[in-house]
Amino acid sequence: MDTVITPGRLRTVVVACTGSAALLVWQVVGWGPLSRFDVSAAGQARRLRPNRDLFEVTVMFGLRGIILTVCLPYLAWRWWKDRMLWPVVGFVTVLIFETGMMGAMKVAVGRSFPYQGDMVLEAGFLAFPSGHAGNVVALWGYMAWYVSLRRPRLKPVLWGFVAAATTTVGVSSWLLRTHWPTDLVVGFLMGGIALVATVAAVQATGLGQTATAVPARAVRP
């Protein structure tokens, strides 16, 4: 992701992601062709008999508790060292934004999980969209953006990690049948909206420009 999110780029990303997500919601609720693809994909995953011990570990790249355990201590350390609170506020913002969108859509659609048997649309089940998918894009993405501001040379490595984690979570969740493919795609899209909107908001305040600034220190006379 580019360091600077212009208003035009923000608008393009939000419109594209929202439109794509709306199409997928229509397919799921209306039992369109993509819903039938979901059923076929789940059946294929069942036939492959994946190594659950492996994929139950790799799918945890999208687990919110693990991401918070890794990221919050680092952000707290940067806060203490740089005397700047905005990176923590930005992380909390993207977390709340992503979680809110996901929760509202889960309740609105009420889709069951693949491992529960036949696909049923009812309010008791909250599979759509995938929270793991949203977490990996929004939260790891925010960390990649923030750290790359401080260490520009690490930008390819950081975003490469986000791409690898996104792919790993998607494949793992599909093979374990913890989510339908469309759950994952919409999760990625919602996470992308939360990430880009939060980065744009931080940049609009001018706070992102202080990421590489050296905090003022007392100078002895």
Q: How far apart are the first and last CA of the chain?
A: 44
Residue 211 is given by DSSP the state: T
**Predicted local distance difference test score (pLDDT) of residue 209:** 61
**Predicted local distance difference test score (pLDDT) of residue 212:** 52
| Helices 64-82, 131-150: crossing angle, 10 deg rounding | 20
Integer-rounded Cα radius of gyration of the chain: 19
Beta bridge partners of 111: 121
- Enumerate the H helices of 30-85 as residue ranges: 33-48, 52-58, 64-82
Asked whether the bond before 129 is cis by omega within 30 degrees of 0, the reply is yes
**Predicted local distance difference test score (pLDDT) of residue 115:** 72
Q: Where are the beta strands (DSSP E) in 6-149?
A: none
pLDDT in tens, 111-169: 888 875 544 444 457 889 999 999 999 999 999 999 998 889 999 999 999 999 999 99
**Predicted local distance difference test score (pLDDT) of residue 90:** 93
**Predicted local distance difference test score (pLDDT) of residue 49:** 84
**pLDDT tens by residue, the chain, 221 residues:** 555 677 778 888 889 999 999 999 999 988 889 988 999 998 898 898 888 889 989 999 999 999 999 999 999 999 999 888 999 999 999 999 999 999 999 988 888 888 755 444 444 578 899 999 999 999 999 999 999 988 899 999 999 999 999 999 999 999 988 899 999 999 999 999 999 999 999 888 876 665 554 444 433 43
Q: Residue 5 in contact with residue 12, Cβ under 8 Å?
A: no
Q: Residue 75 in contact with residue 145, Cβ under 8 Å?
A: no
CATH number of this structure's domain 7-207:
1.20.144
**Predicted local distance difference test score (pLDDT) of residue 208:** 60
Q: Residue 147 in contact with residue 159, Cβ under 8 Å?
A: no
Beta bridge partners of 121: 111
**Predicted local distance difference test score (pLDDT) of residue 5:** 74
